[in-house]
Structure 1
Amino acid sequence: MSLQPCACRGIDVHAHVVPEHFPAYLGAHVPAQWPHTVAAPAQGGLCHRHVMIAGQQYRTVSEKCWSTPRRLADLPGMGLARQVISPMPELLSYWLAPADAHALLRYLNEQTAAMVADSGGALLGLAAVPLQDLSLAIAELRHAVEALGLVGVELGSNVNGVPIGHPCFLPFFQACEALDVPVFVHALKPTGMDRLVGPAPLQQVLAYPSDVGLAAASVITANLLLACPRLRIAFSHGGGTLAMLLPRLQQGWQVFAALREQVQASPLAQARQLFFDTLVFDESTLRHLVDRFGPGQLMLGSDYPFNFHERTPAQRVEAAGFDGATVSALLHGNAERFFGLTPQAIP
C-alpha cells in the first residue's frame, strides 16, 4: 500500500540546515574559511542566499534551510511525521582554529535548537562539535545535549583527512557513549577527487559515497564498537560503498593473519551493529542494504532541502516490496530506537 500524505509516520534522520546569516567574526583577522551569506535572486517564490566560503560561492540555498514553517509545510508530502536536522556538513569547520570553530558551531547549535523549539515537536536537532580539539568537542557535546536539548551529534567522515574510526577519536566516542548520545556520520571533503572526470557535482554524486564507506570501514577495523559497545552510530548515503566492500573485508579477515590480529571481531558482525540511512535513490539497492545489514539498521534519509535530495523517502521504502514489519522499522521504528524515542512521540 502506498503511503498517503495524510498517513505521515516517517522520521527522516538526514536533513540539513543553513542559517540565513552567520555571526560576524569578533577576532582581529577573519579566517579565510569563515562562512557568510549574501542575497541571491528569488526562485519559485522562495528567498535564496549564496553561501560564501573562502571568497567562493559554495552553494545557493533557499529559505527552507532556515525557515521552520517552510520546512514543516513539506513534511506531509514526503510522508514524514518528524525530521532530524543537522548543519550542512561544510559548516563543521574542522579546518578552522579550534576556538574559532567552537564559536561558529555554538552559534549553529543555537540556531538548530531554535528551529526545534519552533516546530511543535516535529523537528529534532543534531549538534556540531569542533572535533579537531577533543576537549572542546566533548564540552560542546555536553552543552548541546544538556543545555540546548539536541538529541545527537553530526560528525564528518574524516577530520582533516583522518578517518573517523582512527583511535585518536576514541575519547570523544566514549563521551558519546557515557552521555547516551547517538552519532550520525556524514561524508565530508572526500578522498579520491583527483580520480573523477567531470564537473564539480561529482563530488556529491560519486566521492561522497566512497568516503563514507571508508569511514564506516575504519570504525570496523578500529574495533570501535568493541571499545564502546553501547555506542549508536549511523552513516549517511546508505553507508556509501561499505555494502560492496564488506564481503572483501570479511574474506580478507579470514585469509590474512595481520587482519585477523587487528580486527578483533567479524567485520560482518560488526557492520550489522551500525546504522545507515536509506538515501540510495533505488529500491533494489535498498533491498540489498536490508539483506546485508538487517532490517533493524536502516532509517529514512532525504538530504532535504538541497536540490540533490530524495523527494519522497517514505514512499521509496514502501515501494521496495518489504513486509509490513520491515516497512514500519525503516519508516520510524529504527529511528525511534536510535534516538531513544517512543512511538507515542510521533505527532
Structure 2
Amino acid sequence: MYQHDGARVAPTGGSRPTAHGQCGCIDVHTHVVPHDFPRYVGSRADAPWPSMVAAQACHRHVMVSGKVYRTVSDHAWDTWRRIADMDAADIAQQVLSPMPELLAYWLDPDDGAAMARYLNDTIASMVASAPHRFIGLGAVPLQDVDRAVAELDHAVHQLGLAGVEIAGNVNGVPIGDARFRPFFEAAERWGAAIFVHPLRPAGLERLVGPAALEQVLAFPGEIGLAAASMITGGTLARCPRLRIAFSHGGGSLPILLARLQHAWDALGPLRDVIGKAPRDLARGLYYDDLLYDATAIVSLIGLMGPTQVMVGSDYPFAIMDKDPVGRAAALDVRDEWMPLLRGANARRWLGLEGAVP
C-alpha cells in the first residue's frame, strides 16, 4: 500500500503540435518507470516495495529491499524526452506499459493492488500530458484474480487506459491456467487490450553466462510457453474476442506451434482438449516484431498473417531496437502490408476508433 506524501512526481511534458498523425507508426512495446514511488504504508515490514534514489545525472536507481535492482534514465518517465526520441525515430505514438518487474506479483494482494493503482495513475497522467502521442496500458494484481478484475475495470473505465500489461506467468503459474480465466473473460467483455511480457522466466538455471542472458535467451522461451498455455488451457477457445498480444515476436511460439499443430492432427486426445486447430488460434493473437532480424520478422508475418504483427522497440532499455521504423520499412513484404505493420494492426488490437482490418 502507499500514501501520497509528496514523493510522487507527476510526469513532465504536455501536448504540442506534431507532424505525426493517426497514420504514423505506433510502437506497441515501450516501458515506463515512475520518477518516484510513494512511501510504503502496508503491514509487512519486509515487503519488497520499490523506491528511487538519485544516481548520476539524469539517472535514478530502482531500489528493492535495500539493493539496487536497476538504474534507469529519465527517458523512462520524462514525456518530453520520450517525444523527442519518438520524433527522431519517426514514431507517431508509443504504447506505454510498466517496466515488467513492477507488476510485482510477489507482493501481498493489498500491496499489489496499491502498486497497480499507482502505476495506472502514473501512466494515465503521462497519456493525458500528450494524448496524441501516448496510449496507456496499466497493471493489475494477478496474484488475486478478483482484485485484478476490479483494477482492470478502474483502469479501462475510469482512467481510460486501453488495457493492461501482464506477465507470462504469475508466481510460476502460466496465464493459461483456468484460475485466470475470469480476468480474461472480463478483458474480453470490456474490450481491453492485453500485452504479455516475460517476467521471472523459466529456465534461468540452464543459462551459462552473464545475468543479461535472461532477456536474451530466457525471455523467448517464457513468452512462447505463455502463448502456448493460452491455447492448450482452453482460454483462447473460450474467449474468441479477446485481443491479446505477445511481446518479443511471440518468442518460441512459432517453432512450438508447428509441433503442437502436428500433434493436434495426429492425436485424438489432444483434439478433445483443444477444440480448435492450434494454428488457427495462434493466428488470432497479436505479436510485436521485436526479433532484431528481417528474415525472422518476415517469417513471423508469413506464419501468423499480415494483420497480426506490430512494430515494437522495448524503449527505453538497453536491449531496445534503436530503429524499429527503418527495420520495418526494409522488410521484403507486400506494399499493402506495410500500413498494417506500421499502425493499423496496433489500432485494431488497442480498440481505437478508425481501426481497419
- TM class by smaller structure: over 0.9
Amino acid paired to 1:23: P
Report the alpha carbon displacement of residue 144 of structure 1 after superposing the two structures with TM: 0.8
Q: In 1, Cα distance between the equivalents of 2:325 and 2:20? A: 11
Q: Distance in 2 between matches of 1:288 and 1:28?
A: 50
Of residues 103, 106, 109 in structure 2, which corresponds to 1:92? Answer: 103
How far apart, CA to CA, are the structure 2 residues paired with 1:316 and 1:54? 40
1:311 to 299, 322, 326: 322
Gaps of 5+ in 1: none
How many angstroms apart in 2 are the aligned matches of 1:31 and 1:329?
A: 48
Question: C-alpha distance in 1, partners of 2:85/2:204?
Answer: 34
Alpha-carbon distance, 1:6 to partner: 6.9
Tell me how many residue pairs correspond in the alignment.
337
1:15–1:301 contact (8 Å) kept in structure 2: yes
Of 330, 334, 339, which residue of structure 2 is paired with 1:323? 334
TM-score, normalised with respect to structure 1: 0.94
Matched, 1:38 2:49: no
**4+ residue runs of structure 1 moved beyond 6 angstroms?**
5-8
The residue type equivalent to 2:35 in the other structure is E
Instruction: Give the aligned partner of residue 125 of structure 1.
Output: 136
Query: 2:74 and 2:286 mapped to 1: Cα distance?
Result: 30
Asked if the contact 1:94–1:101 (Cα under 8 Å) also holds between the matched residues in 2, the reply is: yes
Q: Show the counterpart of 2:269.
A: 258
Quote how far apart the aligned CAs of 1:55 are. Answer: 2.8
Aligned equivalents of 1:319 and 1:287: distance in 2? 11
Is the Cα contact below 8 Å between 1:144 and 1:150 reproduced in 2? Answer: yes
Kindly report which structure 2 residues correspond to 1:1-347, keeping only aligned pairs within 5 A, or say none.
9-42=24-57, 47-342=58-353
Amino acid at match of 1:300: V
What per-residue deviation string (whole Å, max 9, x for no partner) do you get for residues 274-320 of structure 1?
A: 10001110000000000110000011111100111011111111111
- How far apart are the structure 1 equivalents of 2:165 and 2:188? 14
CA distance in 2, matches of 1:126, 1:342: 17
Distance 1:32 1:142 in 2: 26
TM-score by length of 2: 0.91
1: CA distance between counterparts of 2:26 and 2:213? 28
**Would the aligned equivalents of 2:347 and 2:355 in 1 still touch at CA under 8 Å?**
no
CA apart distance, 1:7 = 6.9
Greater alpha carbon shift after TM alignment, 248-257 vs 197-206: 248-257
CA distance in 2, matches of 1:160, 1:65: 26
Q: Which moved more, 1:271-280 or 1:71-80?
A: 71-80
Rounded to whole Å, the distance in 1 between the matches of 2:290 and 2:47 is 32
Q: Which letter does structure 1 place at the counterpart of 2:50?
A: P
**Distance (whole Å) between structure 1 residues aligned to residue 44 and residue 254 of structure 2:** 45
Higher RCO (CA-CA < 8 Å; seq separation 6+): 1
Query: How far did 1:119 drift?
Result: 1.2
- 2:7 equivalent in structure 1: none
2:40 counterpart SS class: coil
* Alpha-carbon distance in 2 for matches of 1:329, 1:232: 16
Give the % identical residues: 51
Kept after mapping to 1: 8 A contact 2:344/2:355:
no
